[in-house]
Structure 1
Amino acid sequence: MQRARLFSEFTVKDDERAFLSRDGRFERLLEPGRHKAFDWNHRLSAEVVKVVRAEIPAEKALLLRKTHPELAEEHFAIIQPASSEVAIVSFDGEPKHLVLPNTTRAFWKTVTRVDVETINTSSDIRVSKRHQDKLDLARTSVITSAVVEAYETGLLMVDGKLEERLAPGRHAFWTVGRTVKIVKADLRPQPLEVTAQEILTKDRIGIRVTLTAFVKVVDAEKSVLSTSDVNGTLYRMIQFAIREAVAARTLDEILAARDTIDNEVRTFVSERARQLGAEVGEIGVKDVILPGDVRELLNKVVEAERVAKANLIRRQEETASTRSLLNTSKLMENNPLLLRLKELEALEKLVEKVGRIDLHTGTGAQGFDALLTNLVRIKGSQESE
């Protein structure tokens, strides 16, 4: 016959505690060590839990606070922030948990020192520098944070209303019971590339125009309240302005008056940009893209113009050369000696180009001297004869 066991033994470590229950009803909390308890017919059970920097289920902590208030006061830190409050829980001076409004959490304070700091978020929307250093802002759902750079300005929007203009630096705000949004505006000039769009000119030729503009936000408040996307709005305004400027001109006028088009677009857009809190600086047409057949035709026109210009220059040079020859001939006519020198120059050039010269002066000739003497008859000698 097997004897019934009368006692049960439980071992609890230094970083543990045990909830001892009989028939499912809590009797006491077991401290570290070896415990022996009377247990007729296996009615005892022990739930061993870790207590160092540990959390206890809120429902269990609340139940024990009601049934065993002294035990709960000694071992548990129960945090219950109101609807406008949050609580920062620190273990041994190190922030670990942020308890949200209208929630309950409980932590063991048996071994660990638990500090609770309750913050009333309705009295001050801004998260203090001290609290920012304690919290992980990126993982906190009840805080909106942003860093405003030196070239930016920030606007604080609370429940859709502009509340404050933020200086450069790090900013964080509680979102408990409210909607908080930080809108940043870049104050540096931003290039705005208006891509090619096909437009019909006055003479019904379809061209595509690309344009570059530089936009700068000068009034962040007006910019944010006027439109959700300043660059997008100005982009469409520039498209409309360039369309109007191109449609009122022929292709030849467009190619000849790009500066005028730039000024028209700038005037049109600048007036409307000021209403958006922005300023438009330089605007310039980058490219005018023509259809293939029109581009080919213009290339032929340009080529023909160049050929005509080249022919004109060649004829001018021929005329100048002929006039020079005429003047030279008149000088030679009145100066036999100059004519003789020109003959000798021609003969010198001829001799340079040939390797051998055979002279046949005929019967009664006197050789090379006779050739040089009789090659050209000087006017003066002819008259003397």
Structure 2
Amino acid sequence: MTWHLLMLNVTVKDGERALLTRNGQLVRVLAPGKHRLFDPLHELKAEVLDVVRSEFSADRYAVLKAARPDLAAELFEAVETKADEIAIVSLDGRPVHLMTPWQVRVYWKVATRIDVERIDVSADPKVSARHLTMIERNRSTVVMEAVVENHEAGLLYVEGRLVERLAPGRHAFWTVGRKIEVKRLDLRPQAVEITAQEMLTKDRIALRVTLTAFRRIVDPERTVATVPDVDAWLYRLVQFAIREAVAGRTLDEVLSAKAALDAELRDYVRARIAESGVEVTELGVKDVILPGEIRELVNKVVEAERVAKANLIRRQEETAATRSLLNTARLMEENPLLLRLKELESLERLVEKVGRIDLHAGNGEGLDALLTRLVRLKAPESA
């Protein structure tokens, strides 16, 4: 925009329009081209604007519409949303703006195709897959998205009321005029560790017990309605159950009957947590931790039991050996031949340990007579 003598020169390119005003009042809109306007007092002003896929000020549009409604209708398209209404504005086929309720946007329509899709969100809060794709780059606070995994249950709440259980996948909801919440619950088995609990046994011995429980949610709707925190609730139940069970048992009963203790705990906890839609698959005592002095006493008792058992085994072996010797003696008594063989066996073992043997024969006997006496077998006496 330049002045030359008394003329105002304005050049408007393709895709542009120029708002020509005199003393702040709109005179007309200049189309693309070169314009020479008589302006001796320099009262004219030309504002060149881009009109391709462009917005126009809503406030200026309101003023223009009041002064020149014909011009406003020719050049602009105003999009206004109502309560409980969402609008998706597409310029030349491309979604550009997501409009929330009670919002106004004004677009130049002289060089742009404008499409407006209005969505009534008062009845159904779900966002369709097509709409979700259209507003992918134009998200705002009016859309809440949730992804439910295959191992999860998704519960949809609208204004605090359970509406439905969502299938695994991606879900989106309009939050206009309502509170939307999706609670996701993991349906896989979960381990809950119950840390060391200090308690007294029936015989007034202090000890600490750690436990492990495995639980899984089988009724998500009931679980959410009855239990604010599943793991905390299970922790308290197990804590109360183990205290009650240990208080009714002596230390020996706790240490020796662990299987019975585990079964009692499972029955107690399952009966009380089943109404919350939770299943306890396993529950048992992991460790029993005794005080130092009690642990030493228990170790001594265990050691004494081991020594006694070892002594018993040794005595049993000695008894068996003695019984075997007795049986052997009886056989030798009844069979002289067997006795003589035993003597020769002993003599053989003795000779193996002697380096030299001197044999003396008396009464003029020779070596043959001596050997004959050594190996002579006593004949059985005749009856």
TM-score normalised by length of structure 1: 0.84
Once the two structures are TM-superposed, the CA of residue 103 in structure 1 deviates from its matched residue by: 1.8
| Whole-angstrom CA distance in 2 between matches of 1:378 and 1:333 | 15
Once the two structures are TM-superposed, the CA of residue 146 in structure 1 deviates from its matched residue by: 2.7
Secondary structure of 1:19's match? strand
Partner of 1:311: 311
Q: 1:359 aligns with which of 357, 360, 367?
A: 357
Once the two structures are TM-superposed, the CA of residue 116 in structure 1 deviates from its matched residue by: 0.8
Once the two structures are TM-superposed, the CA of residue 378 in structure 1 deviates from its matched residue by: 6.7
Partner of 1:27: 27
Partner of 1:231: 231
Once the two structures are TM-superposed, the CA of residue 101 in structure 1 deviates from its matched residue by: 0.7
Q: Which amino acid aligns with 1:158?
A: V
Identical-pair percentage? 58
Partner of 2:288: 288
Partner of 2:207: 207
The farther-off stretch of 133-142 and 59-68 is 133-142
Q: CA 1:96–1:350 in 2, change beyond 3 Å: closer, same or farther?
A: farther
What is the 5 A alignment of 1:270-285?
270-285=270-285
Once the two structures are TM-superposed, the CA of residue 99 in structure 1 deviates from its matched residue by: 0.3
Paired residues of 1:5 and 1:41 also in contact (CA < 8 A): no
1:300 to 2:300 alignment: yes
Partner of 1:324: 324
Partner of 1:18: 18
Paired residues of 1:4 and 1:40 also in contact (CA < 8 A): no
* 1:93-145 Cα deviation digits (max 9, x unpaired): 22221101112222233322111112222233333343233223993312333
Paired residues of 2:11 and 2:32 also in contact (CA < 8 A): yes
Paired residues of 2:361 and 2:370 also in contact (CA < 8 A): no
Secondary structure of 1:95's match? strand
Partner of 2:180: 180
Secondary structure of 1:139's match? coil
Partner of 2:142: 142
Query: How many equivalent pairs are there?
Result: 379
Q: CA 1:165–1:362 in 2, change beyond 3 Å: closer, same or farther?
A: closer
Secondary structure of 1:101's match? coil
Q: Which amino acid aligns with 2:357?
A: L
1:98 to 2:98 alignment: yes
RMSD value, Cα: 3.3
What is the 5 A alignment of 1:189-268?
189-268=189-268
Q: CA 1:121–1:302 in 2, change beyond 3 Å: closer, same or farther?
A: same
Once the two structures are TM-superposed, the CA of residue 310 in structure 1 deviates from its matched residue by: 1.2
Paired residues of 1:151 and 1:186 also in contact (CA < 8 A): yes
1:164 to 2:164 alignment: yes
| Whole-angstrom CA distance in 1 between matches of 2:166 and 2:33 | 59
* 1:31-62 Cα deviation digits (max 9, x unpaired): 33444434446544443333333333322233
Once the two structures are TM-superposed, the CA of residue 87 in structure 1 deviates from its matched residue by: 0.7
Q: Which amino acid aligns with 1:320?
A: A
| Whole-angstrom CA distance in 2 between matches of 1:322 and 1:138 | 98
| Whole-angstrom CA distance in 1 between matches of 2:110 and 2:40 | 31
Once the two structures are TM-superposed, the CA of residue 363 in structure 1 deviates from its matched residue by: 6.8
Once the two structures are TM-superposed, the CA of residue 313 in structure 1 deviates from its matched residue by: 0.8
Q: CA 1:223–1:338 in 2, change beyond 3 Å: closer, same or farther?
A: same
| Whole-angstrom CA distance in 1 between matches of 2:16 and 2:305 | 100
Partner of 1:111: 111
Partner of 2:120: 120
| Whole-angstrom CA distance in 2 between matches of 1:323 and 1:210 | 51
| Whole-angstrom CA distance in 2 between matches of 1:206 and 1:188 | 36
Paired residues of 1:359 and 1:368 also in contact (CA < 8 A): no
Q: Which amino acid aligns with 2:321?
A: S
Q: CA 1:96–1:339 in 2, change beyond 3 Å: closer, same or farther?
A: same
* 1:131-165 Cα deviation digits (max 9, x unpaired): 23322399331233334445444333222223334
The farther-off stretch of 109-118 and 337-346 is 337-346
* 1:253-298 Cα deviation digits (max 9, x unpaired): 1112222222322222223223323233332222223334433332
Paired residues of 2:21 and 2:46 also in contact (CA < 8 A): yes
Q: CA 1:360–1:123 in 2, change beyond 3 Å: closer, same or farther?
A: closer
| Whole-angstrom CA distance in 2 between matches of 1:238 and 1:138 | 49
Secondary structure of 2:127's match? coil
